[in-house]
Amino acid sequence: MTAEAPERTLGALAHGEHPVFEQLARMTIETLPNSGLDERTYHLVRLAALIAMDAAPASYLTNLSVAKEAGLTAEDAKAVCVAIAPIVGSARVIDAAGSVLRALGFAELVTEMET
């Protein structure tokens, strides 16, 4: 194995060129119908879980771009932050708020570029 191999592997992961992303996509597709939740509630619950886990910004981007397509708004995200703040703590919610806004804004930009 060369020194470049890990860099190429990480680069492939970052650009979605790895089987792990295919598996994650399949898992995600299957969870909505299996959850028994309506689509809006499903995305709100996932957002709450991301915040509670102190997820990486890329996780917000991945999840919220799909959630935005399903109609989730910045106001919905704010409501989730307010609801869970007493449980997960203000520091985590404030940190997540920046990731949420960036993810929703980026999702909007991608949507505009596609049209």
* pLDDT tops 50 at residue 1: no
Mean pLDDT throughout 50-70? 86
Is residue 4's pLDDT more than 90?
A: no
With a CB cutoff of 8 Å and minimum separation 6, the contacts of 70 are: 39, 40, 43
The per-residue pLDDT for range 65-109, each reduced to its tens digit, is 888 888 998 899 889 999 999 999 988 888 888 888 888 776 565
Mean predicted lDDT score pLDDT of the chain: 79
Its pTM stands at: 0.68
Instruction: Look at residue 2 in the predicted model and tell me its pLDDT.
Output: 46
